[in-house]
Each structure stands twice: as C-alpha cells, then as structure tokens.
C-alpha cells in the first residue's frame, strides 16, 4: 500500500505475527478458539468529545477507502469476520474473531473455511446482521471497482472468464451462506496463507445487503462496531457517535472511550500542529513538520510520540532498460546512496536506514549490511558497466520528504557519472504514471506500507516478475529475476511459515536486494503522534495495525 500524506495503512509488522498468520492461513488445523480481550486496561474511561485534526480520508465507504486516514478513523465503525486485538506492540497484530463467533474451521488442505456469526448481531440502524451480508459485501466490492478486489481472487468463482470478477452477475460460488444457521463457508481455488488477514481488511467489513453499489461516503453505511458515522463532509469534517445498537456485540474489541469524535480535515501539517498547540484539537494526525520537531521535542515532549511501522522507502531502478538492465550499474547506485544522510536530511531524522526490502520485525528479516556508502566504488562500477554518461529519467513526487529524497538520488547519479533528468509529479498522478510502461521511467521513488504482515505482500505484489503489467504496474522497476520469481511462486503455496520457510524468504530478500541489486531500499520511515495537553498520555496505545488506538484514549 503506498504512502499518502502520512502513510497508507499497514497491518502489523512483527515477529510473532507471521507465526500467527500461519495458523490463520489455514494450514490444515482446525480453527482456533476465540482469544479474549481485545482491549487493554484503558477501557471504561469515557469522556465526552475527542477532537481530531485529521488528514482527508479518500472515502468513507469500507468498500472503497484505502488510506490510513480513513482506516484509522473508522476502525471502530465497520468490522469484519476477523479483526485485530487492541493491544500494544506485537500482540496488536494478532487476529481475533470480530463478527465471527470464533476462529474458523479450516479444512486440511486449507481450501475451505467455515465461519459462524455471533448471535444477535445488529447494524447501527437496528437491522440484523446476516451471513449473506458477507457475500453481498464481497460482491459489492467488485461492483464498485473496489481497490481491494484483488485480495479475493483466490475465492472460488471469482477468477476466470466466467468468474464474478469478469461478469459481476449472479453470485460468487465460493461463498456459501446460511442466514438461519449464521454460517459462512468460503471455498478457495488454492490455499492462501494470508486469507484470514484478508478477511480482516476493510474490503471485507460487513455492509447490509442492498447497500447501493456506489460510493456511500456521504450517506453513512450502517455500522457493526461500537461507533457509527454520523456525518461526513468531504474535505471538511466527519463525526462519529456511539452506535445505539451496539450492545457490546463484539467482546473482542473495546467499546471505546470518547462519546463523540469530531474530525476536522486539516491537510496542512503546520496548521494541524498549531491547532493542537492552541488546544483547538486533541490529536494531530499529520506528521509534525521537520521544522517544528525540535520545538515539539523540547516544549511538548510529553505530548509527542514517535513510532516506526512496517514500511520501506526505496528507489526503483528499471531493470528492463538501460542503463539499469546492467547489474554493475544497479550495484553502483546502491553504493552511491548514503542512507543515513537521507534519514538526516529530507526526513529530519524520522527514519531508520535499511538495505532490506522487508522491514525489521518480520521473522523473515535478516539484516543486509553489504552496501557501505562509497562514491569511488560506485563510479568505478559505472565505468565498468559501460553506462557512464547515460541519461536517466528520474521520477518522483513533488511533496516532501519524497521530493528531497529524489533530488538526492538525482544528485548522486550525477556524481557517479549519469545525466539525470528529474520529473516531479503530483502525488495524485504519480503512481499511475510510473506504473505505465510507456513512461519508461528509468529510476524513481516509491514506498510501501504493508497491507498485512506477510512477505507475500512485499515480494509477490512488488517484485515478482510474473506480475509485471503494462499499466498500473506495482513493479515499476520491472524486477524480473526468473530464479527468484520461481522461488516466490513456490513459497506462495506454503502456508506455514516455519523457520526454514522464513530463511527462504530472507534469501529472496538478499537475492533481490544484494545479489541482483534490483532495487535500492533506503529507509523505514518513522512517524509522529502529537496530542494536546488535555489528553492523558498514560492511555496512549500504539498498535502496529491500528496505529494510535483512539478508542482506548482518555483525557485528564
């Protein structure tokens, strides 16, 4: 998931996570029983109003939104069969049943999952939550061209010429529901280790059957969680209030402390920071501007929190066309990048240098440290590659810190003997531009925030040569190492992430980043949470999945 002004949504990072994922993955076991407790000890400390200075959500419709802003704002509104524990640290990446009564029963081959809904579930409008709503929700995603439909491609009856994805008619044959028995059976074409994580995504959050197959952002969809969306005015504000029909129907998640949440859309980070300083807002969603960080650190130290979630910022090098179809040319760029300097400069210190594609915290992560910043060596490699003097079209966005980072790349390319031509585009058109092969972008900036904590979300989505497309290409570097592609395909079928499998994923990381130098990862970005003096920071909880968990916040 790509970054927006702050970050796009991740789902977790951490060590235990993948181990949990496996289980989930339907690795042949019978279902797990429900874990208790989705909350920490801050539940019950209710207060009347939480004021947020927030970034603009892309949509307020669970079938459509794909930004952190929308996710963070509404993770107490719409819910799915599965969800995450509301706990800090790695525990927060653990899946628990939300609308499902318990973890599903999974067949031995991992291709059949059976869920049962909790009894007496209701939407915020009082209507009953039915098993068939799940199927409707997924089918609606296809009808509204949801950005999440790709996640459901392994469900039987979705793919192929006559699949639901193509026809959008009838029903998805792989989802069998029984409203009376409250059961949902999902049949897959092949085992998929991350399927339960997919069912925790917003695209699988229940909406009532009959919800129009169009953007309902300004016509709030009835909620299943503790809160409901009362109103949303795009680019202005949104208001959440308690769901009058909630009745603690999801015991695995907190009921929420604030009675009302008012989010004002303030996209300028300086303005949102100032609103919190002036006590006009309780929380600044945006990144505290680099310019104001020293002040925030010294003057408002207790109100500032800094975290690093699962993300990687990297430069792609187009492996398909000169000069970067040459290994030595790619190695040269890797040696020419002073990763710590980028952290210090454009990012104001908010980042951790990396040479890995996978972020730290994954059990598959094995730190790569081979590239020591060495301009002389980089120049030598360029010379040996025979590509010196080549013109390089370098693409980036015109927003900081990406702009500063790409200017740095252009500068370093000049230093090692290339002639970079910089193209800075607006964020809104950037990814579709570089994702189009016709652009012939030779190098550029990109970043990725995980959708869910599994190496597939990184290597398969971003660097598998078998998934290169002509447009909307998620692999703008056209990384296509046949031996590694084959390994990714093989690993895709393995649902249990054992240490041996993790070691294979680590080798994929090393092969792509070092042996073939396909890409130039340079940092894992850190972010800020900034609060007004009114907030009781003892209740602060950061979850790798939910970010700042506002539901368990409290005030002094």
Partner 1 sequence: MATGSTTDFTLDSAAELAAEEHGAIEGKSPWLLAWRRLRRNYLALSFLLLFVAIVVICALAPVYSTHVAHTGPNEGHLGETFTRDGKQVQIVSKGGFVNGVFVAGGIPVGPQLWHAGGRYVFGSDNQGRDVAVRLLYGGINSLKVGIGSAVICTLLAVVFALLAGYYGGWVDWVISRFFDLIWAFPVLLLAIALGTALSINGFHHFGINLDAGSLWIPTLVISYVLIPYVGRPLRGQILSLREKEFIEAATAQGAGPFRVMFTELTPNIASSVLVFFTLIIANNILTEAGLSFLGAGVQPPNASWGTLIADGQDRIVTAPWLAIIPGIAIVLTVLSLNVFGDGLRDALDPRAKVRLEH
How far apart, in Å, are the Cα atoms of 83 and each of 58, 92, 435, 483, 511? 22, 10, 32, 36, 34
Write down the residue that tokens 């360029």 correspond to.
382
Residue 352 in the binding site for partner 1 (CB under 8 A): yes
What distance in Å separates the CA atoms of residue 200 and residue 457, rounded to the nearest whole number? 15
Q: How far is CA 230 from the centre of its chain?
A: 26
The reply on whether position 349 binds partner 1 by CB under 8 A is: yes
Q: How many CB atoms lie within 10 A of CB 228?
A: 25
Pick the stretch among 151-159, 222-230, 278-286, 411-419 that binds partner 1 (CB under 8 A). 411-419
- Give the range of 64-72, 98-106, 284-292, 440-448 binding partner 1 by CB under 8 A: 284-292
- Cα separation, 140 vs 213, in Å, equals 6
Q: How far apart are CA 336 and CA 496, in angstroms?
A: 38
- Helix and strand numbers, DSSP H then E, in the chain: 15, 20
| Shortest Å, Cβ 413 to partner 1 | 11
- Does 267 bind partner 1 (CB under 8 A)? Our answer is no
Number of residues that bind partner 1 (CB under 8 A): 44
The answer to whether 333 contacts partner 1 (rule: CB under 8 A) is no
Nearer to partner 1, 128 or 291 (CB): 291
Stretch that binds partner 1, among 244-252, 310-318, 412-420, 447-455 (CB under 8 A): 412-420
How far is CA 131 from each of CA 105, 114, 148, 206, 470, rounded to the nearest angstrom? 16, 11, 20, 9, 39
341 binds partner 1 (CB under 8 A): yes
**Binding of partner 1 at residue 98 (CB under 8 A)?**
no
State which H helix or E strand residue 521 sits in: strand 519-531
Is position 346 an interface residue for partner 1 (rule: CB under 8 A)?
yes
Question: Is 529 among the residues that bind partner 1 (CB under 8 A)?
Answer: no
Q: State the Cα–Cα distance between residues 529 and 35, nearest whole angstrom.
A: 29
- Max Cα separation, the chain? 72
Smallest separation (angstroms) from partner 1 to the CB of 342? 7
Residue window 417-456: x/- pattern of binding to partner 1, with contact defined by CB under 8 A: ----xxxxx---x---x-----------------------
* Strand ranges, E, within 98-251: 105-106, 112-116, 175-178, 183-187, 227-233, 237-242
Residue closer to partner 1 (CB basis): 239 or 274: 274
Decide if residue 367 touches partner 1 (CB under 8 A). Answer: no
Interface residue with partner 1 among 47, 373, 431, 514 (CB under 8 A) is 373
Positions that interact with partner 1 (CB under 8 A): 289-295, 297, 306, 338, 340-353, 373, 398, 400, 403-404, 407-408, 410-412, 414-415, 421-425, 429, 433, 526
């Amino acid at each position: 998931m790509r970054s927006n002004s702050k970050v796009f949504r991740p789902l977790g990072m951490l060590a235990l996570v993948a181990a949990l994922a496996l289980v989930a993955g339907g690795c042949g076991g019978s279902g797990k029983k429900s874990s208790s407790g989705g909350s920490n000890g801050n539940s019950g400390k209710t207060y009347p109003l939480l004021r947020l200075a927030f970034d603009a959500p892309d949509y307020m419709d669970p079938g459509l939104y794909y930004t952190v802003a929308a996710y963070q704002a509404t993770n107490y509104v719409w819910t799915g069969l599965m969800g995450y524990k509301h706990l800090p640290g790695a525990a927060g990446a653990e899946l628990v049943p939300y609308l499902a009564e318990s973890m599903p029963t999974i067949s031995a081959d991992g291709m059949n999952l059976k869920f049962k809904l909790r009894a007496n579930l209701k939407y915020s409008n009082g209507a009953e939550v039915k098993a068939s709503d799940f199927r409707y929700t997924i089918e609606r995603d296809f009808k509204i061209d949801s950005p999440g439909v790709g996640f459901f491609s392994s469900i039987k009856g979705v793919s192929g010429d006559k699949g639901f994805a193509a026809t959008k008619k009838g029903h998805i044959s792989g989802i069998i529901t029984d409203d009376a028995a409250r059961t949902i059976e999902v049949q897959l074409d092949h085992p998929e280790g991350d399927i339960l994580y997919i069912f925790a995504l917003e695209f699988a959050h229940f909406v009532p059957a009959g919800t129009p197959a169009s953007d309902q952002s300004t016509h709030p969809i009835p909620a299943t969680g503790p809160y409901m969306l009362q109103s949303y005015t795009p680019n202005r504000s949104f208001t959440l209030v308690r769901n009058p029909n909630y009745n603690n129907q999801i015991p695995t998640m907190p009921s929420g402390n604030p009675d009302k949440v008012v989010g004002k859309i303030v996209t300028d980070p300086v303005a949102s920071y100032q609103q919190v300083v002036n006590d006009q807002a309780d929380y600044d969603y945006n990144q505290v501007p680099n310019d104001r960080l020293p002040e925030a650190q010294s003057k408002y130290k207790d109100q500032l929190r800094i975290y690093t979630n699962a993300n990687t910022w990297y430069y792609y090098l187009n492996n398909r066309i000169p000069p970067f179809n040459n290994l030595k040319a790619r190695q040269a760029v890797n040696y020419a990048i002073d990763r710590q300097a980028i952290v210090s400069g454009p990012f104001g210190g908010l980042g951790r240098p990396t040479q890995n594609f996978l972020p730290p915290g994954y059990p598959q992560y094995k730190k790569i440290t081979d590239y020591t910043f060495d301009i002389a060596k980089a120049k030598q490699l360029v010379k040996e590659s025979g590509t010196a003097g080549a013109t390089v079209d370098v693409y980036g966005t015109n927003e900081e810190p990406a702009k500063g980072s790409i200017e740095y790349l252009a500068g370093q390319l000049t230093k090692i003997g290339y002639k970079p031509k910089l193209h800075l585009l607006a964020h809104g058109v950037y990814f579709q531009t570089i994702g189009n092969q016709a652009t012939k972008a030779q190098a550029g900036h990109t970043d990725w925030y995980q959708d869910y904590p599994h190496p597939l979300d990184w290597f398969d989505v971003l660097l598998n040569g078998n998934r290169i497309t002509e447009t909307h290409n998620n692999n703008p570097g056209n990384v296509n190492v046949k031996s590694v592609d084959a390994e990714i395909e093989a690993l895709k079928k393995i649902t249990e992430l054992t240490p041996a499998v993790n070691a294979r994923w680590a080798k994929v990381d090393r092969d792509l980043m070092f042996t073939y130098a396909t890409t130039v990862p340079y940092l894992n970005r850190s972010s800020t949470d900034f609060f007004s003096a009114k907030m009781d920071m003892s209740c602060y909880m950061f979850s790798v999945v939910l970010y700042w968990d506002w539901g368990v916040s409290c005030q002094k």
